[in-house]
């Protein structure tokens, strides 16, 4: 057998054998369907906040071919390359791919007039993050050297959602979801891949919530005119 081929197979076997402690696994619920042609209320994703105690561990790092225990990262205590914009884009993508009507341009530099079409406003608060990842091609406990974008492991996230009905002028529904993402294979992209996928799992579980679904689907007796014509232009 070719020497380099043998070494490649040996390295692959070693890497596949090293394991990372799993995060809490959450059952993925099937989003309730919005069939083509069904009218839904326009939705605006208003914002995503984080309410995690300062210093609470959110990442446990492992490193090297054996996935040896490495550094811990506390909330706002280390490098977490994830932005609110990425989570906003994830939310919009998950809804639009399932025939939900999402309005508002998250990248608009000035006021976006389309947001006044929104009848439902959605906001979320991330209250828990637990990530266990291994950087097999890094020789540093803090993954500061070597290939720091290739990793495997899992991420768990908990989100509390508030749904604001513009017609009612108040929060009309609140629900807490959990979501997880796990990859036994080494993938590229760093921390953001794991956080985005765990957040996307939360969004899909939100779409599986009957209360949210019933608020969004338009019924025959509901008016079609924009909400600001019924209630006046409200400042939210």
For 26-73, the pLDDT digits (tens) are: 999 999 988 888 899 999 999 888 899 989 999 999 999 899 999 999
In 3D, which of 59, 79, 80 has the Cα closest to residue 71?
Answer: 59
pLDDT of residue 19: 82
pLDDT of residue 56: 93
CB atoms within 10 A of CB 37: 6
Q: Rounded to whole angstroms, how far apart are CA atoms 147 and 21?
A: 21
Q: Rounded to whole angstroms, how far apart are CA atoms 61 and 154?
A: 11
Computed on alpha carbons and rounded to an integer, the radius of gyration of the chain in Å comes to: 21
The average pLDDT across 165-178 equals: 97
The secondary structure element, H or E, covering residue 86 is: helix 84-96
pLDDT of residue 114: 73
Query: Which of 17-21, 66-70, 149-153, 214-218 shows the lowest mean pLDDT across its residues?
Result: 17-21
Q: Is the pLDDT of residue 8 over 80?
A: no
Which residue would you say has higher pLDDT here, 91 or 16?
A: 91
The average pLDDT across 119-145 equals: 93
pLDDT of residue 82: 66
pLDDT band at 214 (very low <50, low <70, confident <90, very high): very high
pLDDT of residue 222: 53
pLDDT of residue 104: 80
Map out the domains of the chain with their CATH numbers.
35-55+83-129+156-219 (3.40.50)
Residues with Cβ within 8 Å of residue 27, at least 6 apart in sequence: none
Tell me the pairing of strands 43-50 and 120-135: parallel
pLDDT band at 227 (very low <50, low <70, confident <90, very high): very low
pLDDT of residue 97: 93
Tally the C-alpha atoms within 13 A of residue 27's C-alpha that lie toward its C-beta.
Answer: 3
Q: Is the pLDDT of residue 159 over 60?
A: yes
Residues with Cβ within 8 Å of residue 18, at least 6 apart in sequence: 65, 66, 67, 134, 136
Q: Is the pLDDT of residue 123 over 90?
A: yes
pLDDT of residue 221: 60
Which residue would you say has higher pLDDT here, 106 or 236?
A: 106
Tell me the pairing of strands 120-135 and 150-165: antiparallel
Helix (H, G, I), strand (E, B) or coil at 62: strand
pLDDT band at 86 (very low <50, low <70, confident <90, very high): confident
């Amino acid at each position: 057998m070719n020497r380099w081929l043998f070494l490649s197979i040996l390295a692959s076997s070693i890497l596949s054998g090293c394991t990372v402690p799993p995060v809490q696994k959450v059952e993925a619920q099937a989003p309730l369907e919005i069939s083509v042609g069904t009218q839904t209320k326009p939705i605006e994703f208003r914002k995503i906040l984080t309410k995690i105690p300062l210093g609470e561990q959110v990442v446990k790092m492992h490193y090297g071919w054996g996935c040896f225990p490495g550094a811990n990262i506390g909330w706002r205590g280390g490098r977490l390359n994830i932005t609110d914009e990425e989570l906003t884009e994830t939310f919009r993508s998950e809804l639009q791919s399932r025939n939900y009507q999402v309005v508002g341009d998250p990248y608009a530099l000035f006021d976006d007039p389309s947001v006044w079409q929104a009848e439902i406003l959605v906001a979320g608060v991330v209250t828990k993050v637990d990530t266990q990842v291994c950087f097999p091609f890094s020789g540093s406990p803090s993954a500061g050297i070597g290939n720091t974008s290739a990793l495997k492991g899992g991420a768990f996230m908990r989100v509390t959602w508030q749904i604001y009905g513009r017609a009612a002028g108040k929060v009309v529904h609140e629900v807490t979801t959990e979501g997880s993402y796990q990859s036994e294979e080494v993938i590229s992209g760093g921390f953001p891949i794991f956080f985005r996928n765990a957040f996307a799992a939360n969004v899909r579980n939100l779409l599986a919530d009957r209360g949210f679904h019933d608020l969004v689907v338009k019924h025959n007796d509901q008016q079609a005119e924009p909400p600001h014509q019924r209630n006046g232009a409200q400042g939210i």
